[in-house]
Amino acid sequence: MQGQTVTYREAFATLKSAQKGHARGAPAYSVYVNRRIGRVFAAFAYIRGWTPNQVTAISAVHTFVGIALIIALPPSWWSGLLIAALLLCGYAWDSADGQVARLRGGGSAAGEWLDHFVDAAKLSVLHLAVLVGLWMHTPLRDTAWLLVPLAFSAISTVTFFGMLLNDLLKASRSAASTHSRGGGTLLRSTILLPTDFGVVCLVFVLWGWTTGFIVVYALLAAAALAFLALASVRWFREMKTL
């Protein structure tokens, strides 16, 4: 479609009919909510002439402004809603950049690098911001609860690195990607919902209720740890077969 003048409706219809299958490990919010919001954003960005890298930059602005507010604003119902909205918008724009690339005929190595670089930054920095925000603004200061965001940061970073490394090693040996498409099911996606980054974003609606937030946040961290423990065993077995 690159080089053609198209309407928003045409761009949206093209994206809707050309969606790739979701990865077997893709959780429900990312597949059934975030991708669809991203499709709306992608069609708008395309008719505006924005490049995938510009869309990635928009995603980063939303995400890192939301992260900064975790530290800057005292927890309240309205600050939690604002933070959640910014993080969710950033996540949706993150889905949109790849869709814009498909509308334009394909992405680039530089664009893929930028997308992954921003993802790696947000996954680690988000939880460190939670640590600082809890320490600065809540009664949890100097309690063991502050170990939860510290652990969550490590878990998220290691999981993301493991997925990228799996794909890199498999691609170098012409094997199927860890994120092979078309193998996901609704049941599997629903079971994996607690590991969804979108759910992590949503939990900030509880930011003004410190007790509720830290309990739900800790449960999500535990789910992420369980997923990493199980996935790492499977990934290692897959590497041994290459």
Residue written as token pair 């740890």: 225
Nearest of 227, 115, 232 to residue 166 by alpha carbon:
232
Q: What secondary structure, in 3-state letters, does 121-175 show? A: HHHHHHHHHHHHHHHHHCCCCCCHHHHHHHHHHHHHHHHHHHHHHHHHHHHHCCC
Domains along the chain with CATH numbers: 8-241 (1.20.120.1760)
pLDDT at position 105 over 80: no
pLDDT in tens, 163-200: 999 988 988 887 665 555 555 567 777 888 888 999 99
pLDDT at position 127 over 90: yes
Alpha helix (H) residue ranges in the chain: 8-17, 28, 35-47, 52-72, 77-103, 109-137, 147-172, 186-191, 197-202, 210-241
Q: Which has more confidence, 157 or 16?
A: 157
Task: Output the furthest CA–CA distance in the chain (Å, rounded).
Answer: 58
Residue pair 213/207 in contact by the 8 Å Cβ criterion: yes
Neighbours of 171 (CB within 10 A): 12
Nearest of 110, 82, 99 to residue 39 by alpha carbon:
99
d(CA 38, CA 91): 8
- The model carries a pTM of 0.89
Mean pLDDT of the chain, nearest integer: 88
| Residues contacting residue 10 through CB under 8 Å, at least 6 positions apart | none
